[in-house]
Amino acid sequence: MTFNELGLNARMVSRLDAVGLKKPTPIQEQAIPQALQGRDILGIAQTGTGKTAAFGIPLVVALSKTPERPAPRSARGLVLVPTRELAGQIVRSLQGLTKDLRITLVVGGKSINAQAEKLARGTDILVATPGRLIDLMDRGSIDLGQTRFLVLDEADQMLDIGFIHALRRIAPRLSTDRQTMMFSATMPKAMAELSRQYLDEPIRIEVSPPGKVADKVAHSVHFVAKAQKQDLLIELLHGHRDDRVLVFSRTKHGAERLMKNLDRAGFAATSIHGNKSQGQRDRAIAAFKAGSVRVLVATDVAARGIDIPGVGHVYNYDLPNVPENYVHRIGRTARAGESGRAIAFCAAEELTELKAIEKVLGTRVEIAGGRPWEAVTGAPQKKRRPRRRSAGRPDRMAA
């Protein structure tokens, strides 16, 4: 199928061709015609499958049909995303689809006064992170009463950061006569409940099972002691020094420490995490994209905000606490039709996380090295904290 066959006008097809979009992906092929009819959409698809264009194209088409300019301090369409990096990526993608609509970015880490000034003129499409949007709402800098299009992108990750509470404040401010589109790579129970609450008879489009790894990603695990992880990483990095490599660390301090150690070991490395300013994060990603640094060490803040072709390897230096994040992390490689490798390190203390990941995947992760900890006698296990009893509640064991 071609974009012409999806019901798009010649002008939009020409713009898509100019930005290198020649043929719709499965999620685009199924979502765009339904969205053009004004249907609410619940889209489930892996990272890197073209979800941004799946909602961006019909959003631009719908807003372009009505030529009126937005009122001051208003937004005709709203796109909510979990991270600053993803928000910036979406703005760039939307700007490639239209030169006629005003697109505004509001995220934390930037001057809120400058953002309020931009919103004073009104905007056609507002791309925002929830926290900064609420700050601007509280200041009276934005009125969402005329917002008739709402997109929730990477909704499952927004649930992880407490998005449900933010949405309860944002949604009542929107026009009740609106179209809502929700996209995600996974479908946890909480998101299903969210869709029932905020979507009106949505059509569900699922182009890949939740938790499925992209076909061109070869992923495996090394069983390695925590103290030996860094030496193993350096050894493996020496085997592909010219590759662009993304390394995931669980904590901000761990990411910074690992980056400095890799730099001392002779690798051109940088890092992004929550302790970095937005300017530092932007510069790190720009250097990684340009190739002046070959290794980017990141926390999960980057798992869904980096769309850089040519990432040959992804390392899960620490396994994620949320098993679905494994899929998002390794989805940073094998993008745009390329192949890639994802390598995880599993210390004895992380066996629980590995089992949770394999449960989400529905399969065992291939073993690349080491002996499985469950087969090693006396492998340390995580200590479970005793449950605290509520005051006045009888102890079941005692009863």
Asked if 156 and 66 count as a contact pair (C-beta separation under 8 A), the reply is no
Give the pLDDT band (50/70/90) at residue 373: confident
Q: Rounded distance, CA 271 to CA 280, Å? A: 9
The Cα 186–Cα 303 span in angstroms is: 14
List C-alpha distances in Å: 33 to 204, 221, 250.
13, 41, 40
Across the range 366-375, mean pLDDT stands at 87
Cα gap 364→218, rounded to integer Å = 13
Angle at 84 between CA 81 and CA 87, to 5 degrees: 50
Q: Which tokens sit at 146? A: 């005329």
For the segment 342-365, what is each residue's pLDDT rounded down to a tens digit? Answer: 999 999 999 999 999 999 888 999
Q: CA angle 301-302-307, nearest 5°?
A: 150
Q: How confident is the model at residue 310 (pLDDT cuts 50, 70, 90)?
A: confident
Q: What is the pLDDT of residue 208?
A: 66
Taking the C-alpha atoms of residue 314 and residue 244, their distance in angstroms, rounded to an integer, is 9
The answer to whether 297 touches 255, Cβ cutoff 8 Å, is yes
Residue with the two structure tokens 């931009």: 118
| pLDDT recorded at residue 185 | 76
CA atoms of 166 and 101, how far apart (whole Å):
27
Q: What is the pTM of this model?
A: 0.74
pLDDT in tens, 159-168: 766 778 888 8
The alpha carbon dihedral of 135, 282, 16, 334 has a sign of negative
Mean pLDDT of the chain: 87
Q: Of 79-83, 131-135, 232-236, 375-379, where does mean pLDDT reach its minimum?
A: 375-379
- Distance (Å, rounded) from C-alpha 51 to C-alpha 185? 9
The per-residue pLDDT for range 176-234, each reduced to its tens digit, is 999 999 998 777 777 788 888 899 999 999 886 655 676 678 999 999 999 999 999 99
> 151 pLDDT exceeds 70?
yes
Q: At what angle do helices 189-198 and 163-170 cross, to 10 degrees?
A: 0
Q: Rounded to whole angstroms, how far apart are CA atoms 91 and 127?
A: 7
Per-residue model confidence (pLDDT) at position 137: 97
Q: How far is CA 322 from CA 69, 287, 349, in A?
A: 43, 29, 15
pLDDT for position 336:
62
- Report the half-sphere exposure of 269 (CA within 13 A, side-chain side): 24
- 3-state class of 276 per DSSP? coil
* 158 has pLDDT over 80: no
Rounded percentage of the chain residues whose pLDDT exceeds 70: 88
Select the more confidently predicted residue: 260 or 377: 260
In whole angstroms, how far apart are CA 164 and each of 190, 194, 207? 9, 8, 25
Positive/negative CA dihedral, 264, 265, 266, 267: negative
> How large a percentage of the chain has pLDDT more than 90?
64
Please, which residues bridge with residue 16 across strands? none
What gap in Å lies between CA 257 and CA 272, rounded to an integer? 12
Backbone angles phi, psi at 68, to 5 degrees: -65, 145
- Whether the CB-CB separation of 190 and 159 falls below 8 Å is answered with yes
Q: At 100, is the pLDDT very low, low, confident or very high (cuts 50, 70, 90)?
A: very high
What integer pLDDT is reported at residue 324 of this predicted model?
80
CB of 64 closer than 8 Å to CB of 9: no
The structural domains of the chain, ordered by start, are 4-206 (3.40.50.300), 217-375 (3.40.50.300)
The end-to-end CA distance of the chain, in Å, is 66
- Closest of 75, 96, 71, 99 to residue 151, by C-alpha: 75
HEC-encoded secondary structure of 160-204: HCCHHHHHHHHHHHCCCCCEEEEEECCCCHHHHHHHHHHCCCCEE
Rg (CA), the chain: 22
In this prediction, residue 67 has a pLDDT band, given cuts at 50, 70 and 90, of: confident
For 15-19, 289-293, 330-334, 382-386, which range has the lowest pLDDT when averaged over its residues? 382-386
Of residues 121 and 164, the one with the higher pLDDT is: 121
pLDDT band with cut points at 50, 70 and 90 for residue 327? confident
Which residues on adjacent β-strands are paired with residue 23?
none
pLDDT at 396 over 50: no
